[in-house]
Amino acid sequence: MSNTATQTPNPDYRTPDELVVEEHEPQGPTQSPQAIIIKLLIAVGLGALIFLLPRPDNLPVEGHRLAAILVPVVFLWVSEAIPIGITALLATALMIVLKVEKSSAAWAPYANQAVMFVMMIIMFGVVLNEVGLAKRLLFWILRFAGTNVKRLSFFIAFSSTILSSIFHDATITIIMLFAILPLFKAMGITPNKSNNLSKFFVILIPLAASAGGFGTLLGGGRCALAVDITQKYLLEATGVAVKIGFLKYAIIEFPICILTAIATWAIVYAVFRPKEVELPASVKIESMPKMSTAEIGVSVIFVAAFVLWFAGDLTGWHVSVVAALALAGFCTPGWVSFKTICDKFPWESWIVFGSGVSLGAAMLTSGLGKYLAEAFIPLLQGQSTFVTYFGMGFFGSVLSSMMSNSAAVALSLPITLPMAEMMNMSIEAVGLLSPMSTSFIMLVIGCPPTIIAYSTGYFSQMEFIKVAVPWCLLLLTICVLGAMLYWPMIGFS
């Protein structure tokens, strides 16, 4: 028996039947005023330095100004000198002040269809939490996987990856995180006393969810964006209308999710290997009451929403339309109030997501994206297929690490698709590699799941980078090999 199994219960311990989702607003690490001022001065200095540097002939004025905004913004996101949501809003405001974009164009991406879908799908997580389905999920998880740390964590990682390809990765992250956090509290593990066990689970869940977010068109906004951009480019470049529907997309992408799930668990376990072998047996929930009317009603509407999502090719409805109808179904009977949803919604994560899409759109219209493409192409020309795919994927991952993954898709595809055409590569294959590569991020700000997990305060940015960089490189390698070996087997290349 492990030492953990015999430890003294914490005074805040709740019996298994009393496990509830934390309702307080978790906070990340704080910084001293001096550190904040120094970081702000560095950010201003970086922006001024880039602004004063000579502008290359092939870089438009607007692109040069955007670079002077983007670099300090990324620095502020990483250094957390000010809340990342405030940095996101400032980035858009600066684009207007420096005339990179008109005000309407700068703010419009916040209402992009993918951004609105992400907003509504994150609200789904709040609904599941409020009606008690998240707690019931924890009951089922512990009942199936038990309290063995290795088996439980693998089950959570695999489930998070597979489920996030059907649900939204942010939704799965919210459900899993808020379901597992009471276990740590019951063991006396708080953010200030975080150890390898808590860091392992709290980092594993968002990475596993992000790793599966590309599996189907429901997994995240980046999937729908990648398909939309690729289809439009193919039509403009070849004059041929190529349809990438829900089923075709799933056949191409979903099987690779199984490999990324296993690899994610392995790399996070290797970096944050917990000393505990077993969780205390007392944390296991012995029984649950019958499902309430609200739980049953929400479950039925969820099932109906999934059916409509899967039938999207037939109805022609955007996934956001179905999500809006489902939210109406949740709130109209009074199972959960819309005010509660808004009160508990992680708005900061969503604002960063919208800002990333806005920056990505500006990268395209300002010419900065084209400039980067022209600088990047020579590095891949003449290289092997593996190196070329990996290089494009790494380019997408780097961009995704600095902004939302949907924004990275919107930014990188207008760069990599012309590259693919120039190098006689499959435009469609490069397009569908993008939602994969942009799922793998190296910084916390890269996607909503990691932002949400970071907000719990159980790990620092540097601890996240320690595992995220090797995780990104390993999963990129797996996906590139999948594109080279699996896709030709199903007739897609």
List 278's β-bridge partners, or say none: 148
Torsion of CA 200, 206, 207, 213, to 10 degrees: 160
Which pLDDT score is estimated for 404?
67
Which pLDDT score is estimated for 261?
93
| Bigger pLDDT: 109 vs 402 | 109
CA distance 84 to 75: 11
Residue 24, pLDDT > 60, answer no
CA distance 174 to 38: 34
Contact criterion met (CB below 8 Å) for 452 and 177: yes
Phi and psi based region of residue 401 (left: phi greater than 0; alpha: psi -120 to 50; beta: remaining): alpha
Token output for 483: 């594109």
Residue 236, pLDDT > 70, answer yes
Task: Tell me the DSSP string of 367-416.
Answer: SHHHHHHHHHHHHHTT--HHHHHHHHHHHHHHHHHHS-HHHHHHHHHHHH
Q: What is the mean pLDDT of residues 27-51?
A: 85
Contact criterion met (CB below 8 Å) for 125 and 179: no
Alpha helices for 311-384 (secondary structure H): 312-315, 319-331, 338-344, 347-366, 368-380
Token output for 478: 């797996």
Q: How many CB atoms within 10 Å of residue 33? A: 7
Model confidence band, residue 26 (pLDDT cutoffs 50, 70, 90): very low
pLDDT tens per residue across span 165-183: 877 777 788 778 877 877 8
List 148's β-bridge partners, or say none: 278
CA distance 379 to 334: 57
Residue 80, pLDDT > 90, answer no
pLDDT tens per residue across span 284-322: 666 788 899 999 999 999 889 878 877 776 888 887 899
Residue 16, pLDDT > 50, answer no
Neighbouring residues of 172: CB distance < 8 A, sequence distance ≥ 6: 160, 163, 164, 205, 209, 212, 449
3-state helix, strand, coil in the chain (%, to 5): 75, 0, 25
Residue 479, pLDDT > 90, answer yes
Query: Rg (Cα) of the chain, in Å, rounded?
Result: 22
Which pLDDT score is estimated for 30?
66
Q: What is the mean pLDDT of residues 445-449?
A: 76
Which pLDDT score is estimated for 314?
80
Model confidence band, residue 208 (pLDDT cutoffs 50, 70, 90): very high
Which pLDDT score is estimated for 10?
42
Looking at 7-11, 211-215, 217-221, which range is the least confident one? 7-11
41 φ/ψ angles, rounded to the nearest 5 degrees: -65, -40
Which pLDDT score is estimated for 285?
67
For residue 91, give the nearest of 75, 111, 114 by alpha carbon: 75
Model confidence band, residue 377 (pLDDT cutoffs 50, 70, 90): low
Burial class for 459, CB neighbours closer than 10 Å (0-12, 13-18, 19+):
buried
Which pLDDT score is estimated for 22?
44
Which pLDDT score is estimated for 385?
87
CA distance 269 to 148: 14
| Bigger pLDDT: 403 vs 448 | 448
Structure-token match 């470049």, residue found: 237
Torsion of CA 242, 246, 248, 251, to 10 degrees: 150
Between the two ends of the chain, the Cα-to-Cα distance in Å is 52
Looking at 42-46, 196-200, 265-269, 318-322, which range is the least confident one? 318-322
